[in-house]
Amino acid sequence: MDLMTTMHATQSCQHKLASQLLSLFSMLAAKLGKVSLIVGLITLALCGASHAATINLSCDSVHSHPEICRSVAEDWARKTNNEVHVVNAPNDSNERLAFYLGLLRSASDKIDIFEIDVIWPGLMANYFIDLRPYSKSVEKQFFPDMLANNTVNNRLIALPWYSDTGIMFYRKDLLKKYGFGLPKTWKELAVTAKKTQDAERAAGNLKMWGYVWQGRAYEGLTCNAMEWLGSYCGGTLIDENGKVTINNPHAIEALKTAASWIGSISPKAVLNYGEEESRGVFQSGNAVFVRHWPVVWAGSQRADSMVRGKVGVMALPTGSAAGRSTGALGGWQLAVSKYSKNQALAADLVNYLTSAEVQGPRAIRSSVNPTIMSLYSDPALVKANPFMAELYDSFATAVRRPSTVTGGKYDQVSALFWSATHEVLSGKKSADIALVELEAALNRLAPGGKWTAPALENP
């Protein structure tokens, strides 16, 4: 232990007196020539059980307001006399996964708390501790489905931090101006979007587009495409029993429909849009509809938003009159690394961050869906986010990506799916051929030729 580290640790304990005493003793010890030993002993004695720790946390609330996570984590640090350090991680879900796995595969302790996507528990469970011994039974307040998703081999490997469902935001001022009702099917949406787009362009806004969404080849496209499939009764790519179902006429129709939007109601650039790009186009007033996550609501109400007061929220359209409206289920969880040197403290911070005390005000400020059931009956929350009450049912029936049945290989399954979808959207392949090939590739990837139980990654 060197002198600087020891002094820093002592200051972290916020014992000013301790620091002064330490300097005094250090001078004395230096004269005696036994600096390390004496300083170490003094520090131990002064900090004792309340030794401060730094918890490294990756929780910048992807696509949400990063400052909220930082400031609530700092509140915890002040209350508990510890320190937190927020580690930056890539925004795109799949890039973030690669970054996290890189650290965990090398048994790194650089991050104590990981913010993990709803689709990763089966992929990453073995890297995280069981939170039950630390949770003080608070888990009962969360939606049971979310807890079930985070429970792998009877271990609760993460607590739900916020939930996401794909929803549609629209310009209610423009629909009113041109006399349109809310579209129920994708066909109706395409008509409303095109007519409104053309009328707005004729009126001078040449940048106006009918519909923007996330079309880049990444996890966000998997979410959009799962929604199209669901709305056309085209299945979930691989069903719960492990059968690859993607090559079917409804799925083909769904992808063909989406491809027909490119260059018509959606710019070609949508093939490179993620969450931020699509949100940017909508919030600067250049799109009639945007498919996104709930967080866009708060952003569009902010003082600097060009669309403030002009935005409505609806469930996603159905494929046909008989089809379903299916938003993809997303969301983020907080998990504690098994390589953390401060597991109990990190678990305590996870309890705090996921508590109603933090989630309630966060939902009001940033329109992020809470994971605690009781918060949905809070009048302040519903007043700030009316759609949370209006669309509650569609949140309950959100479509799940096939992450449970594919376990440790979900990332590869999703990459095959978004690549095939991107090829169809960009006109490189017909939907029929792309889905035949995708079906074969998914079958080849299945362990032993059949998707059955999760194949967990073993560190």
**Of 118 and 316, which CB lies nearer to ligand GLC in the complex structure?**
118
212 burial type by CB count under 10 A (0-12 exposed, 13-18 middle, 19+ buried):
buried
Instruction: Check binding of 227 to ligand GLC (CB under 6 A).
Output: no
Residues in Cβ contact with 148 at an 8 Å cutoff, skipping those fewer than 6 apart: none
In the bound complex, which residue of the shown chain has the CB atom lying closest to ligand GLC? 330
Q: Which of residues 105-134 bind ligand GLC (CB under 6 A)?
A: 117-118
Q: Which of residues 245-284 bind ligand GLC (CB under 6 A)?
A: 275
b/e burial code for range 47-81 (CB count within 10 A of at least 16 → b): beeebbbbbbbbbbbbbbbeebbbebbeebbeebe
Query: Contact with ligand GLC (CB under 6 A): which of 53, 60, 63, 121?
Result: 63
Instruction: Check binding of 370 to ligand GLC (CB under 6 A).
Output: no
| Assigned token pair, 227 | 């929604």
Residues in Cβ contact with 221 at an 8 Å cutoff, skipping those fewer than 6 apart: 214, 215, 418, 421, 422
Query: Contact with ligand GLC (CB under 6 A): which of 76, 186, 293, 417?
Result: 293
How many angstroms separate the CA atoms of 311 and 200, rounded?
A: 16
Identify the residue whose tokens are 């949100």: 279
Instruction: Check binding of 220 to ligand GLC (CB under 6 A).
Output: yes
Least gap, CB of 98 to ligand GLC (angstroms)? 14
**Of 131 and 146, which CB lies nearer to ligand GLC in the complex structure?**
146
Q: Is 260 helix (H, G, I), strand (E, B) or coil?
A: helix
**Cβ neighbours of 169 (radius 10 Å):** 28
Instruction: Check binding of 219 to ligand GLC (CB under 6 A).
Output: yes
Instruction: Check binding of 59 to ligand GLC (CB under 6 A).
Output: no
| Assigned token pair, 379 | 């009048």
Query: Contact with ligand GLC (CB under 6 A): which of 223, 287, 288, 347?
Result: 223
Candidates 47-55, 218-226, 338-346, 423-431; binding stretch for ligand GLC (CB under 6 A):
218-226
**Cβ neighbours of 304 (radius 10 Å):** 7
Least gap, CB of 278 to ligand GLC (angstroms)? 11
Between CA 214 and CA 252, with CA 410 as vertex, the angle to 5 degrees is 55
Query: Contact with ligand GLC (CB under 6 A): which of 210, 235, 327, 330?
Result: 330
Least gap, CB of 94 to ligand GLC (angstroms)? 8
**Of 53 and 398, which CB lies nearer to ligand GLC in the complex structure?**
398
Identify the residue whose tokens are 């390589």: 339
How many angstroms separate the CA atoms of 55 and 155, rounded?
A: 22
Least gap, CB of 36 to ligand GLC (angstroms)? 48
Residues in Cβ contact with 445 at an 8 Å cutoff, skipping those fewer than 6 apart: 409, 412, 413, 416
Identify the residue whose tokens are 């710019």: 267
**Of 175 and 223, which CB lies nearer to ligand GLC in the complex structure?**
223
DSSP letter (8 states) at residue 454: -
Instruction: Check binding of 62 to ligand GLC (CB under 6 A).
Output: yes
Instruction: Check binding of 164 to ligand GLC (CB under 6 A).
Output: yes
The helix-helix angle for 219-231 and 410-425 (nearest 10°) equals: 70
**Of 234 and 294, which CB lies nearer to ligand GLC in the complex structure?**
294
Backbone angles phi, psi at 167, to 5 degrees: -140, 170
How many angstroms separate the CA atoms of 438 and 417, rounded?
A: 7
Instruction: Check binding of 142 to ligand GLC (CB under 6 A).
Output: no
Between CA 42 and CA 44, with CA 43 as vertex, the angle to 5 degrees is 95
Candidates 12-20, 217-225, 358-366, 420-428; binding stretch for ligand GLC (CB under 6 A):
217-225
Instruction: Check binding of 331 to ligand GLC (CB under 6 A).
Output: yes
Instruction: Check binding of 411 to ligand GLC (CB under 6 A).
Output: no
Candidates 198-206, 253-261, 329-337, 433-441; binding stretch for ligand GLC (CB under 6 A):
329-337
Distances (CA, A) of 310 to 172, 191, 198, 369: 6, 20, 19, 21
Least gap, CB of 328 to ligand GLC (angstroms)? 8
Q: Which residue type sits at 72?
A: V
Residues in the interface with ligand GLC (CB under 6 A) total 14
Instruction: Check binding of 416 to ligand GLC (CB under 6 A).
Output: no
Candidates 21-29, 216-224, 297-305, 358-366; binding stretch for ligand GLC (CB under 6 A):
216-224
Query: Contact with ligand GLC (CB under 6 A): which of 6, 43, 56, 93?
Result: 93
Backbone angles phi, psi at 36, to 5 degrees: -55, -50
* Binding residues for ligand GLC (CB under 6 A): 62-63, 93, 117-118, 164, 219-220, 223, 275, 293, 330-332
